[in-house]
């Protein structure tokens, strides 16, 4: 992989050409840096140990309560910080002490809302909805638990409704004003893999949040022209912001996180046929756009049982699939996933947050980590992470048990 293309005006312009070139090809006689470890794994090589991904995105971090309990257990004090500067999202940015204790091999770069969004929401009465830049309202269902429940386009039915909607300004420079400095700092250090995590640039998710599932799904069936126009409008905005994001990153990035939640516990939200007709072309175009502008690997997040769409995701250029929700249908069959897709996909996730992490003992967590590593890690192609965000019910002892077991059982060559 090359990291020294046309970087004029980008963060990597100040980086010597060979500084960020990883050691690939199996020469791991010297200790690897975390970045080299991650890049070896996503190139389907066996590094020195299985890489760990914690804290770089809203799909791989933790909520505030388990974070505070973890800091208390470790005797560590620090101010709480939140991804996207958004406390209502509830996803923390673990500080460097915690990231190092958890042996995370990645560091994140993210965008922000326009400044006016933060100013408006700071002035709102406590516990009232947080309105994001799309006009979608996050409602507090219980203290600290927010969910997108105000759908500003729920009554929209026509192309005129789409034309007249006050769409977010993706050209607002505040969104990415900090990205170049953050990316350049990480690239100059050249220690950790850099994961870029722009906020929810997912067309399907945004359409559902704008209309509500009970309105958008019927439109997909009975008002297809409208639904397609809405998805394409969202995708156009997503690509515009992604373009700004990628220009600020330059080549100082290893992984770009995108995705769309396509699955449920026991199947898909829409049929494979509808996915291929409606969403797959949009996803394919989006991923092609990213790959035209960066050499970074595409990390695709989609919850639930998406087994029936994995061939499609491989076809459109997904490199890393997350979160491998083992509690959902055929995603529990890790051996079959590895056999069928292990040469084409890197898997990220698979440590169960449904039963094992929240309700298991540390020893049960340890054995689950061992099982997952034995199934997914041979030959590389696996990044260890929890299935989505570590939620409130997870005790800090189990978080430590997860990463300590990864260190214990994840050293290559793996022991059978």
DSSP per-residue codes, 169-203? -TT-GGGGTTHHHHHHHHHHHT-SEEEE--TT--H
What is this structure's pTM? 0.93
Q: Which two tokens stand for residue 258?
A: 């995108």
Which pLDDT belongs to residue 341? Answer: 98
User: What is the C-alpha to C-alpha distance for residues 314 and 302, in angstroms, rounded to an integer?
Assistant: 13
Residue 296: which of 389, 210, 196 has the closest Cα? 196
What the block records as the tokens of 345 is 């996909």
Count other Cβ atoms within 10 Å, centred on residue 30: 9
Q: For tokens 């640039």, what's the residue?
A: 201
Instruction: Write out the two tokens for 195.
Output: 């994961």
Q: What is the pLDDT of residue 64?
A: 94
Radius of gyration of the chain from Cα atoms? Answer: 21
Q: What is residue 3's predicted lDDT score, i.e. its pLDDT?
A: 30
Query: Do residues 354 and 387 touch, judged by C-beta distance below 8 A?
Result: yes
Architecture of the 11-113+171-409 domain: Alpha-Beta Barrel (3.20)
318 Cβ partners below 8 Å, 6+ apart? 287, 298, 300, 345
* SS3 at position 365: helix
**356: exposed, middle or buried (C-beta count within 10 Å: 0-12, 13-18, 19+)?**
buried
Q: Are 221 and 278 in contact (CB under 8 A)?
A: no
Q: pLDDT tens digits for the chain (416 residues)?
A: 333 333 333 444 444 444 456 666 566 567 899 999 999 999 999 999 999 999 999 999 999 999 999 999 999 999 999 999 888 878 999 999 999 999 999 999 999 999 999 999 999 998 899 999 999 998 988 877 888 889 999 999 999 999 999 999 999 999 999 999 999 999 999 999 999 999 877 999 999 999 999 999 999 999 999 999 999 999 999 999 999 999 999 999 999 999 999 999 999 999 999 999 999 999 999 999 999 999 999 999 999 999 999 999 999 999 999 999 999 999 999 999 999 999 999 999 999 999 999 999 999 999 999 999 999 999 999 999 999 999 999 999 999 999 999 999 999 999 86
């Amino acid at each position: 992989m090359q990291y020294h293309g046309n970087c004029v005006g980008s963060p990597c312009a100040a980086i010597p050409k060979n500084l960020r070139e990883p050691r690939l090809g199996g020469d791991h006689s010297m200790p690897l840096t975390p970045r080299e470890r991650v890049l070896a794994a996503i190139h389907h090589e066996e590094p020195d140990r299985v890489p760990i991904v914690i804290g770089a995105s809203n799909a791989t971090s933790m909520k505030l309560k388990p974070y505070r309990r973890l800091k208390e257990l470790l005797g560590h004090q620090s101010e709480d910080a939140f991804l996207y500067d958004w406390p209502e999202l509830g996803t923390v940015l673990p500080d460097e002490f915690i990231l190092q204790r958890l042996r995370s091999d990645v560091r994140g770069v993210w965008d922000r809302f326009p400044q006016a969004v933060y100013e408006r929401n700071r002035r709102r009465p406590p516990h009232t909805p947080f309105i994001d830049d799309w006009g979608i309202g996050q409602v507090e269902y219980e203290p600290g638990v927010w969910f997108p429940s105000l759908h500003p386009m729920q009554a929209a039915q026509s192309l005129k409704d789409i034309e007249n909607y006050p769409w977010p300004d993706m050209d607002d420079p505040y969104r990415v004003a900090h990205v170049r400095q953050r990316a350049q700092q990480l690239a100059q250090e050249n220690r950790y893999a850099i994961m870029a995590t722009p906020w929810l640039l997912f067309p399907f998710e945004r359409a559902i949040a704008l209309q509500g599932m009970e309105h958008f799904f019927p439109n997909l069936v009975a008002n297809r022209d409208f639904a397609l126009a809405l998805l394409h409008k969202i995708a156009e905005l997503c690509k515009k912001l992604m373009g700004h994001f990628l220009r600020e990153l330059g080549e100082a990035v290893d992984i770009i996180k995108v995705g769309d939640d396509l699955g449920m516990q026991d199947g898909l939200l829409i049929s494979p046929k509808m996915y291929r007709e409606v969403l797959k072309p949009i996803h394919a175009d989006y991923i092609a756009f990213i790959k035209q502008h960066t050499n970074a690997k595409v990390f695709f997040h989609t919850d639930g049982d998406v087994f029936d769409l994995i061939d499609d995701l491989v076809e459109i250029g997904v490199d890393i699939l997350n979160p491998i929700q083992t509690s959902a249908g055929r995603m529990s069959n890790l051996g079959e996933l590895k056999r069928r897709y292990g040469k084409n996909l890197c898997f990220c996730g698979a440590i169960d947050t449904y039963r094992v992490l929240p309700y298991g003992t540390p020893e049960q967590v340890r054995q689950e980590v061992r099982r997952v590593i034995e199934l997914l890690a041979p030959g590389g192609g696996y990044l260890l992470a929890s299935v989505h965000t570590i939620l409130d019910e997870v005790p800090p002892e189990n978080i430590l048990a997860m990463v300590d077991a990864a260190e214990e059982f994840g050293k290559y060559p793996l022991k059978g």
